[in-house]
């Protein structure tokens, strides 16, 4: 199998959490030019922009004017190939090519206070679109397991398949192979895991008693790969175990003082950067530093893992997406909205329930108070309640009344914004489009939370927090 040319043949990334949090510390670790050059030299990039083309989903809504960041979607893939990995992982002649052994879509919220990580079952039966191949050839569309896309056309084909499946724009990707994963776990000093039953799996070579263990190297890799002799033997069960492993990794990184241990810190950074293959947008220490600094405030309790809802396809192994339930997750990611939907007190000027969530309402804030900076303050309050602020400005004249202006085609958005701005009056304006206007008058008294009835997340949507007990 061939892939787009990389700047260096190296190990590939997988676990965004440990890598991102470790790279948060890169500025401290880089004590000199030689160290910086060493870590920078570890990185590998693959440019897939040309292979993705322009027929792609829309990006997540732009962050509010007062926010420092944009929502980001990062596709994280485990690189499953036997070639060059050692005979203990199986024969490359028997298991040819490469697959995305594990795939996770990581959504970093614009406020950088939360992350939603959605696991995509590798055996999901889906439509793989046509994918460019090296040499100018193109792979024709086909129906296969999701993880086959990587073997067909590398990261670009996996991204195209995911975007077609979900309608979600992917901003970046990272990949890791078996060896890179082991080195990162070893650099951390191991990760605590928990088993409710003893296991002796001849395929993954995982041999552990029931209870908690700190695993490193081959044992850590076997833990996240073992399937047939654990639980129900399914890939879904393995996903749950992988999510528990990642949760434990997050807790380990957050609970230890890496900054106070320069030797261990350098080992973690060296392993993390040597593991990373990504797109050029993340392929530099500076870009990774900015990303890591941005997620530094995310606590384990605000990292949520979900598994893409599925249902049996009817054969022995493959599954299909349960679209009715999965759409809730897709919408949360597309709209940068909380998962599960946050509950709030209802504030509606009418008896009719609101229908449009704040995360779907785009608004421009105009200052009509005569007080400088008022629009910026109000924009920040709206953003805190989930509204998408597309800009701020100054009204042509001072006004006493705060007014929500909206196109009649977006009357439900107008109702939601009017309900949120205390004492505001509504005014239809056919000249407006999808972006509403809030004219902030001298009577402005604040923004209140609003509640939009939504379908509750299905009980079948598997979910856990990175703060959860690893034995749960």
What does the pLDDT look like over 34-49, one tens digit per residue? 666 777 788 888 999 9
Cα separation, 256 vs 258, whole angstroms = 6
Residue ranges in the chain whose pLDDT is less than 70:
1-36, 60-68, 79-101, 228-229, 231-233, 254-262, 316, 341-352, 453-462, 472
Q: What is the DSSP letter of 400?
A: S
User: Are 177 and 287 within 8 A, CB to CB?
Assistant: no
What was the pLDDT predicted at 25? 37
**What pLDDT score does 6 carry?**
44
Q: What is the pLDDT of residue 35?
A: 66
Cis, peptide link before residue 340, omega less than 30° from 0: yes
pTM of the entire predicted model: 0.67
Q: What is the maximum span of the chain, computed from C-alpha positions, in angstroms?
A: 77
Residues paired with 138 in a beta bridge:
132
pLDDT tens across 340-386, in order?
Answer: 754 333 344 444 678 788 888 899 999 999 999 999 999 999 999 88
Give yes or no for a contact between 450 and 384, defined as CB atoms under 8 angstroms apart: no
Q: DSSP assignment of 346-397, as one string?
A: ---SSSSPP-S-GGG-EEEEEE-SS-TTHHHHHHHHHHHTT-EEEEEEE-SS
pLDDT value, residue 457: 47
Spans of all domains in the chain: 16-339+458-465, 358-440
Query: What fold, for 16-339+458-465?
Result: Aminopeptidase (3.40.630)
CATH of 358-440, one of 3.20.20, 3.30.70, 1.10.287, 3.40.50: 3.30.70
Position 378 scores a pLDDT of 95
Residue with tokens 């973690």: 268
């Amino acid at each position: 199998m061939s892939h787009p040319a990389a700047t260096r043949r190296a190990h590939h990334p997988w676990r965004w959490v440990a890598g991102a949090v470790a790279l948060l510390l890169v500025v401290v670790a880089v004590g000199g030019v030689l160290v910086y050059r060493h870590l920078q030299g570890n990185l590998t990039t693959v440019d897939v922009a040309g292979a993705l083309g322009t027929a792609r989903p829309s990006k997540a809504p732009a962050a509010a004017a007062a926010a420092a960041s944009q929502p980001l979607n990062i596709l994280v893939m485990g690189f499953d190939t036997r070639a060059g990995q050692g005979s203990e992982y199986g024969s490359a002649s028997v298991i040819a090519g490469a697959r995305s052994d594990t795939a996770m879509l990581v959504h970093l919220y614009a406020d950088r206070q939360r992350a939603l990580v959605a696991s995509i079952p590798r055996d999901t039966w889906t439509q793989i679109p046509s994918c460019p191949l090296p040499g100018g050839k193109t792979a024709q569309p086909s129906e296969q397991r999701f993880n086959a896309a990587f073997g067909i056309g590398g990261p670009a084909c996996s991204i195209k398949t995911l975007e077609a499946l979900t309608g979600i724009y992917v901003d970046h990707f990272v990949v890791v192979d078996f060896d890179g994963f082991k080195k990162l776990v070893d650099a951390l000093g191991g990760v605590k895991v928990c088993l409710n039953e003893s296991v002796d799996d001849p395929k993954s070579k995982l041999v552990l008693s029931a209870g908690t263990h700190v695993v490193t190297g081959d044992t850590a890799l076997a833990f996240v790969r073992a399937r047939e002799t654990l639980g129900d033997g399914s890939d879904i069960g393995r996903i749950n175990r992988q999510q528990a492993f990642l949760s434990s990794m997050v807790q380990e990184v957050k609970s230890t003082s890496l900054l106070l241990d320069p030797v261990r810190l350098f080992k973690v950074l060296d392993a993390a950067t040597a593991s990373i293959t990504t797109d050029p947008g993340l392929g530099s220490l500076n870009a990774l530093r900015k990303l890591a600094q941005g997620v530094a405030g995310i606590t384990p309790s605000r990292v949520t893992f979900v598994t893409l809802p599925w249902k049996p396809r009817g054969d022995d192994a493959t599954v299909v997406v349960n679209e009715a339930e999965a759409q809730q997750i897709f919408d949360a990611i597309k709209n940068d909205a909380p998962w599960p939907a946050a509950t709030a007190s209802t504030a509606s000027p009418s008896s009719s329930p609101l229908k449009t969530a704040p995360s779907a309402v785009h608004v421009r804030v105009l200052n009509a108070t005569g007080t400088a900076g008022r629009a910026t303050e109000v924009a920040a309050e709206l953003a805190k309640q989930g509204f998408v602020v597309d800009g701020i400005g100054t009204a042509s004249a001072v006004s006493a009344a705060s007014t929500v202006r909206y196109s009649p085609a977006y009357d439900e958005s107008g109702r939601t914004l009017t309900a949120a701005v205390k004492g505001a009056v509504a005014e239809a304006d056919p000249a407006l489009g999808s972006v509403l206007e809030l004219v902030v008058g001298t009577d402005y008294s604040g923004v209140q939370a609003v509640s939009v009835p939504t379908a509750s997340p299905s009980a079948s949507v598997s979910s856990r927090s990175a703060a959860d007990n690893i034995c749960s």
